[in-house]
Amino acid sequence: MTSSIKNLALGAASAAIAAATPAFAQTTEAHRQGIAAGDVLVRVRAILVAPNERSGSILPAFPGERVRINDSVMPEVDVTYMATDQIGFELIAATTKHHADGRTGTTGSIGRLASTWVLPPTLTAQYH
């Protein structure tokens, strides 16, 4: 490349950066007007709790027995507190009901072994 072509390329790159700077500043200002430090965001979503079930023998008299725990989908409410303009902390509030049923290889079903409610407390740091 000759010196004049290098200077032309450098000038074009400088002009492009200078032209893009005001647009970036406007975008940043618009973002700050939407979410700012001290804001509280409340959302409603759905949550899926899918237990990773692994069971050993539950009744020695029956071969092939196992436990099955159902998945559950429920509505969930979360609250995010914005500590800074970009950093927020989200806490979810949801509970799901699960049943543990026994199954065997010979008789088919032992029946309900247990029922429980699960409260997955989750605090998440977020970057916005």
**Predicted confidence (pLDDT) per residue in 20-30, tens digit:** 666 555 555 54
Do 45 and 89 belong together in one domain?
Answer: yes
Please provide the average confidence, as pLDDT, over all residues in the chain.
75
pLDDT of the residue at 101: 72
Residue 121 belongs to domain spanning: 37-127
**Beta carbons within 10 angstroms of residue 65's beta carbon:** 19
What is the total count of domains within the chain?
A: 2
Whether residue 72 sits in one domain with residue 20: no
The pTM of this model reads: 0.54
Note whether 102 and 75 are same-domain residues. yes
Q: What is the mean pLDDT of residues 49-72?
A: 71
Q: Do residues 64 and 81 both lie within one domain? A: yes
66 and 79 co-located in one domain: yes
One domain for residues 108 and 88? yes
